[in-house]
């Protein structure tokens, strides 16, 4: 608990057996009440490693649902368990769990509704080995998105995110894409619903065992991001009428 708020860490996993234990061991359990692991039909022994670590809540997808589909299962389970602060932490150890106390305290003290771990603030992305083409793509997409959605973030593409319960109960995340563009749709919904977003500087690491999408899928993701931002722009102008922006409460 943090100030009587239940803290839940969710781990979206796909072939994370080699890095799950290292990630799990750095979670501050003096603050975190529950951990949920969702295995998206891995071909390795991710589930067995999770059980060995003593993770009580393990979701196993019988078929691969995609990165977004994985998150949907996790957030619905976190709400079911009564989570007040829900943090998505990748179990590939690309983002450090040592930032969890800072992210938890920001939401727990009612300063912001959402916290993003930004790799761009403090130049953490390039120091951590982000490929140059991904860095330039991140900068271009973020610049364009800030204009279209009328907001200001250092990046829209981090996978390190913390949410208040109110956010997850309000936005229609279950209607989002099942692939990587899910993250951007979520941020679009959050901004449209006028929730406050904080960013903290986050170092990151690129290494062989860390998950990463290839150039072809990166291109697909980039066009998907632009589509989401244009849809948001039209919605903001009163032209669109997309179900994804429907408030759930």
pLDDT band at 153 (very low <50, low <70, confident <90, very high): very high
> Which 8-state DSSP code applies to residue 55?
-
What is the CATH T-level fold of the domain 7-245, as seen in this structure? Answer: Spore Coat Polysaccharide Biosynthesis Protein SpsA; Chain A (3.90.550)
Q: What is the model's pTM?
A: 0.93
CA nearest 14: which of 56, 59, 77? 59
Residues sharing a CB contact under 8 Å with residue 93, sequence separation 6 or more, in sequence order: 19, 22, 23, 205, 209, 210
Alpha-carbon torsion, ordered 230, 233, 234, 237, to 10 deg: -170
Strand partners, 112: none
- pLDDT higher than threshold 60 for residue 209: no
State pLDDT tens for residues 108-126. Answer: 999 999 999 999 987 767 7
118: helix, strand or coil: strand
Contact indicator for 214, 131 with CB cutoff of 8 Å: no
Given this model, what pLDDT does residue 208 score? 58
Given this model, what pLDDT does residue 103 score? 98
- pLDDT higher than threshold 80 for residue 215: no
Contact indicator for 244, 175 with CB cutoff of 8 Å: yes
């Amino acid at each position: 608990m943090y100030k009587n708020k239940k803290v839940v860490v969710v781990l979206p996993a796909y072939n994370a057996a080699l890095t799950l234990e290292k990630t799990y061991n750095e979670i501050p359990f003096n603050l975190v009440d529950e951990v949920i692991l969702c295995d998206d039909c891995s071909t390795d022994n991710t589930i067995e490693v999770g059980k060995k670590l003593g993770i009580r809540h393990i979701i196993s997808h019988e078929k691969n649902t995609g990165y977004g589909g994985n998150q949907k299962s996790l957030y619905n389970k976190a709400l079911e368990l009564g989570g007040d602060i829900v943090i998505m932490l990748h179990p590939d150890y690309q983002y450090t769990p040592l930032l969890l106390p800072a992210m938890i305290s920001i939401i727990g003290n009612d300063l912001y509704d959402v916290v993003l771990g930004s790799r761009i603030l403090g130049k953490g992305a390039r120091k951590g080995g982000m490929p140059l083409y991904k860095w330039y793509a991140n900068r271009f997409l973020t610049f364009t998105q800030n204009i279209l959605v009328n907001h200001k973030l250092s990046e829209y593409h981090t996978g390190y995110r913390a949410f208040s319960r109110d956010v997850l109960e309000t936005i229609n995340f279950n209607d989002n894409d099942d692939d990587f563009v899910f993250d951007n749709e979520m941020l679009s919904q959050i901004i449209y619903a006028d929730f406050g977003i904080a960013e903290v500087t986050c170092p990151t690491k690129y290494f062989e065992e860390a998950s990463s999408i290839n150039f072809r899928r990166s291109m697909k993701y980039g066009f998907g991001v632009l589509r989401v931002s244009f849809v948001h722009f039209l919605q903001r102008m009163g032209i669109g009428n997309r179900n994804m922006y429907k408030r759930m409460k």
